[in-house]
């Protein structure tokens, strides 16, 4: 794959994004979390964000898809569920281990439902959540939630 450095992708679901260490690949493009992430704080949730994919956001791939990224602290063995909803685009969500850069989970919304991914965190530390749209360039509002007790 053009510009690919890292582990090979071992599993592919037809029409679904692929996960690999530190990257999630969408059809014909690469999804790479930006160096700077947006901050969110919500005491009852690990993350609760009303976001907006818009001009000026980080982009990825040859088709310049919009990307937002958020961070939270997690603990080894903690089970987290990420949910992204949007009325403006078909959301894609990915979870990355902030220490290793390894992709932990990803999901794409189907049939108007939210994109929901559940994962058991492999270690204590910082985690990054990336939100993108399947459509190009992908713009509009979205809601991300990661309950503290998920």
Angle at 98 between CA 95 and CA 104, to 5 degrees: 30
Kindly report which listed range (10-19, 20-29, 139-148) carries the lowest average pLDDT score. 10-19
**67-72-73 Cα angle (round to 5):** 150
* Predicted confidence (pLDDT) at residue 1 exceeds the cutoff of 70: no
pLDDT category at 37 given cuts 50, 70, 90 is low
Segment 8-26 shows an average pLDDT of: 34
Residues contacting 80, CB < 8 A, separation 6+: 46, 74, 95, 118, 119, 121, 127, 146, 150
- pLDDT in the model for residue 44: 76
At residue 53, the pLDDT reads 96
Radius of gyration of the chain (CA): 14
| pTM score | 0.70
Query: Model confidence at 23, in pLDDT bands (50, 70, 90)?
Result: very low
Backbone angles phi, psi at 29, to 5 degrees: -160, 170
Tally of CA atoms within 13 A in the half-sphere of 53 that contains its CB: 32
Asked if pLDDT for residue 15 goes beyond 50, the answer is no
In 1-150, where do the E strands start and end?
A: 18-20, 23-26, 29-31, 45-53, 58-60, 65-74, 79-85, 91-97, 103-108, 115-120, 125-133, 140-147
What pLDDT shows up at residue 97? 94
Q: What is the pLDDT of residues 91-140, one digit of tens each?
A: 999 999 998 989 999 999 998 899 999 999 999 999 999 999 999 888 99
pLDDT for 150: 54
Could you report the per-residue pLDDT of 57-85, keeping only the tens digit for each?
Answer: 998 888 888 999 999 999 999 999 999 99
């Amino acid at each position: 794959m053009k510009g690919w450095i890292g582990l090979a992708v071992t599993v592919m679901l037809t029409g679904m994004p692929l996960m690999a260490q530190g990257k999630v690949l969408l059809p014909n493009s690469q999804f790479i979390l930006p160096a700077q992430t947006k901050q969110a704080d919500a005491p009852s949730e690990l993350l609760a964000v009303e976001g907006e994919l818009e001009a000026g956001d980080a982009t990825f791939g040859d088709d310049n898809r919009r990307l937002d990224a958020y961070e939270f602290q997690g603990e080894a063995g903690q089970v987290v569920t990420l949910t992204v909803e949007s009325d403006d685009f078909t959301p894609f969500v990915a979870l990355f281990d902030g220490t290793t850069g390894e992709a932990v989970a990803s999901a794409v919304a189907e049939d108007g439902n939210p994109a929901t991914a559940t994962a058991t965190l492999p270690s204590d530390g910082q985690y990054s959540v990336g939100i993108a749209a399947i459509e190009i360039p992908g713009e509009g509002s979205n809601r991300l939630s990661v309950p503290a007790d998920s």
